[in-house]
Amino acid sequence: MSESFDYVIIGAGSAGCVLANRLSADGKNTVLLLEAGPTDRNIWVQMPLGYGMTFFNPKVNWMYDTEKDEGLNKHSAYWPRGKVLGGSSSINAMVYIRGLPLDFNNWRDEGNAGWGWDEVLPIFRGFEDHEWGESEYHGRGGEVHITDIKNDVHPLCQNFLTGAESIGYPRTDDFNGPQMEGVSTFHINTRKGWRASSSNAFLRPVMKRGNLQVRTEAHATRILFDTKSGDNNSNVSVRATRVEYLKNGTKHQVTARKEVIVSGGAINSPQLLQLSGIGDPELLAKHDIPVVMANPSVGRHMQDHLAMTHYYKSLKPTINNELYPLLGKLKVGLQYVFKRKGLLSMSVNQAGGFVRSSEAEAVPNLQLYFNPLTYTLKPGDGKLMNPDPYAAFSMSFNSCRPESRGHLEISSADPLAKPLIHPNYLDTEKDIQEAIAGCKILRDLSQSEAIKSVIQEETKPGLGIESDDDLLEDFRERAGTIYHAVGTCRMGQDPANSVVDERLRVHGVAGLRVVDASIFPAITSGNTNAPTMMAGEKGAAMILEDNI
């Protein structure tokens, strides 16, 4: 006989940790949280800049590779995703961005009642603990501490900000304030020098609750259902009742008395639904999986932010000069150990902006990043991405709201087999034009007096790449994900083009919801971690309301 809980949550990521906290808060509901990865008690997870050591570490990272993509000249893209308590919030760059009000109003206007900006802003504010204190735009006293790093960023960030202003981009004090448009330094989710992951913020403080169990290295393999048929099969009711998972090589089953909640993220959530018989009937038949609920939208409508980076050797010292030498590593290490400050307490994403590529755009459509550090990505044994052995910095951009849509599908009925990921980048003319426009903006920035004065050489793409065609070709050769995949179980009213309704219930199935970034109807204009935590908070409230 299997164990029984009121709620079984699959995935202890950005949303799953929020759900575990809120659903167990009253002490009455029993909650089981299953996480395929290990504990997050790992110095490289907890140290903010330690994500260089988790970028290629299979112990805490799913380390996905996409299929070869036509938009990237048939290259594959590397997609790291967190496989650890906290999920991707435990291995990300910690930039805290909510997105534009327009993003959420568009969600609402597609028929998703309750998801407009006026409804979600109080939710963001409710879980925030911003070091500026409480205001119309910020919360105080919540679980997620937000740090303003403007007084600690590298001096070259000022060159970027001054250069951007000199060519017409406004300065803003706060990307999460009244004016998102412009350039500034980022706010990051850290607390006292430690990463403020969803696990640290929401899960760790409540793990001793008697009604909450957390099981790590417990890989969910299937959701199981009860089916009741009416007369002549005219009224078929399907309900999620059990979850099958692997732990230490042994298969287990657990019963959910109220609901099963899938929070595996934009890759693992649709994969699990397909493995469980919810998806495109043709795909399921291909892998001999019985259809529980036909829904071809599962795994479709995928969006991601595709980023391009230009690299520059610098005439002034950068973080490379501090982190490359062995003595430099020792110095910043000691500073972090004894003071919990310095480079290791921050993100490499220190400054950036949200800008419009032309006056025809009503709101920002490109996000900029300035990193006073460069490094070479070397897949392998998970070692630190070592900085380049010379002074250098980089500038990057991505389109805020790309139109292209990709998809993913299971590769077999084996739950341990990685799914096939097809990003379908640059599939629309608008996305292509924004790619070219973004490259030109990076060039314009590099020619501003404040930035040009510190450039020794543009190393990539190099000044020989000038025409629109050349810039686009370079983009296709070198662009890569900024790690913001969403939309694969998107929210909507019509099962023909969505997977869950506005209350995140899977269409046609009782007792089953999806709560994570996969439910986004469209990608938000910025980093996706904060909106995912918001979805977890809102999803938990709806679950409790619906199960009174």
**Residue 186 carries which DSSP code?**
P
Positive or negative torsion for Cα 131, 135, 137, 140? positive
DSSP 231-267: GGGSSEEEEEEEEEEEETTEEEEEEEEEEEEE--HHH
Written in H, E and C, the secondary structure of 193-218 is CEECCHHHHHHHHHCCCCCEEEECCE
- What is the phi/psi pair of residue 487, to 5°? 90, 0
Tokens standing for 77? 């893209």
Range 39-73 burial, b when 16+ CB lie within 10 A, else e: bbebebbbbbbbbbbbbbbeebbbbbebbebebbe
Nearest to 198 by CA among 289, 50, 96: 96
Tokens standing for 115? 């998801």
Spatial contact of 544 and 22, defined as CB atoms under 8 Å apart: yes
Residue with tokens 């990865």: 37
Residue with tokens 């597609």: 110
Spatial contact of 261 and 515, defined as CB atoms under 8 Å apart: yes
**Helices within 299-425 (DSSP H only):** 319-323, 326-339
Residue with tokens 């105080």: 140
Positive or negative torsion for Cα 171, 175, 178, 182? positive
Spatial contact of 442 and 310, defined as CB atoms under 8 Å apart: yes
Centre a 10 Å sphere on the Cβ of residue 493 and count the other Cβ atoms it contains.
14
- Integer-rounded Cα Rg, in Å, for the chain is 23
Nearest to 364 by CA among 393, 392, 399, 396: 399
| CA trace torsion 32, 38, 43, 48 (10° rounding) | -70
Q: 352: part of which helix (H) or strand (E)?
A: strand 351-355
Q: Tell me if residue 154 is catalytic.
A: no
Residues comprising the chain, all counted: 548
Beta strand ranges found along 60-164 (DSSP E)? 64-65, 78-79, 128-130, 144-148
Catalytic residue among 187, 301, 305, 484: 484
Residue with tokens 């493995």: 275
Grouping H, G, I as helix, E, B as strand and the rest as coil, residue 67 is coil
Say which amino acid occupies 77.
Answer: A
| CA trace torsion 247, 249, 251, 253 (10° rounding) | -10
Alpha-carbon distance of 87 to 264, in angstroms, equals: 8
Which residues are identified as catalytic? 484
